[in-house]
Amino acid sequence: MAIADAGSVHRAAQQLGMPQPALSRQLAEAERLLEVRLFDRSSHGMAPTSAGKAVLPRCQLLLRLLGGIRNIGQQRRPQILLGCVQRSMQTMMPIVLGRWQPLHEPLGTREEPLLRVLEGDSLSLWHLLLDGKLDFAVLREQPQARANPQALLVQHLYDDHTAIICAGDHPVLRSGEVPLERLPDFGWALPQVGRTSRAILDRMLADRGCAPIQPVIEARSFESLIDVVASTRLLSIAPAMVVQKYVKAGKLRTIAVRPALPATPISLACHPEILEDPWMETFRSELHQAGVRLRQAARSRRAAPSQAVRG
């Protein structure tokens, strides 16, 4: 790991505080035991081979597990590194942070928090997890998960639904289900291109022969879009779970469209080995229970009288 980070045995040995020949012997012994060459040597330094790139993430994970053993010996619980997509930050993390009792215990003498959460997009979080830089990731399921050579464990948590929204007092969209093809006739405020919900909407319109929507406003956060839509005649899209409080307050309405936007699965991914640590398994269970609560809330919402735009 040190050689990969430093780019050379010389710099790695300096960082580790050990003689360069000793580190070279350790590398040679590792390559002999694994029966592969881990680095390509050149005048520019050392770069991992394809085998080295496959081995390094496992080394990163092993180092974290070894750190956990040290924490057990010192009667300290290891820090958990969690990656989370933005939507789940707004829906799932409040449940987890509210329920997970260790977060509400006195900090004591810990030099670091028990939990660190990184927000990011699904693809970035997936690669951070593969590289051993996260313990868990809450993300939209990646295609690689179905045929993953590194055997990440991927478990479904809940389905994420996207709602089409307008202001609570919108004067036009007041009756019946609205055909999806009619929606481009209105002004829009949308997430930036590349966001999953935007791609789903564009794809559904394209399947019906409609040109992509040219929004009046593009924003990075759903909060910005919600505030704009609540005070204008623009339409937008946002997580169904997030907009419920605005609907109840009368600031927004959800628009019943035909056909409805499809739900996308939100999953929990991790390396199976990390669950051998009881502390990590306890946290995984907490994430799973939060997913159960979100699924139950979604069922209750569908069973309740709709506040969508209908006649």
pLDDT along the chain (311 residues), means of 10: 89 88 90 90 86 84 69 67 91 91 72 86 88 89 54 89 91 78 91 86 90 90 88 92 89 90 92 84 94 88 54 34
User: Tell me, what's the pLDDT at 307?
Assistant: 45
Q: How far is CA 200 from CA 126, 203, 204, 273, 289, in A?
A: 20, 5, 6, 35, 28
Say how far apart CA 212 and CA 308 lie, in whole Å: 24
How many residues make up the chain in this entry? 311
User: Tell me, what's the pLDDT at 67?
Assistant: 65
User: Tell me, what's the pLDDT at 136?
Assistant: 95
Do the Cβ atoms of 27 and 39 come closer than 8 Å? Answer: yes
User: Tell me, what's the pLDDT at 306?
Assistant: 45
Query: Which H, E and C letters describe 169-220, residue by residue?
Result: CCCCCCCCCEEHHHHHHCCEEEECCCCHHHHHHHHHHHHCCCCCCCCCEEEC
Task: Report if pTM > 0.85.
Answer: no
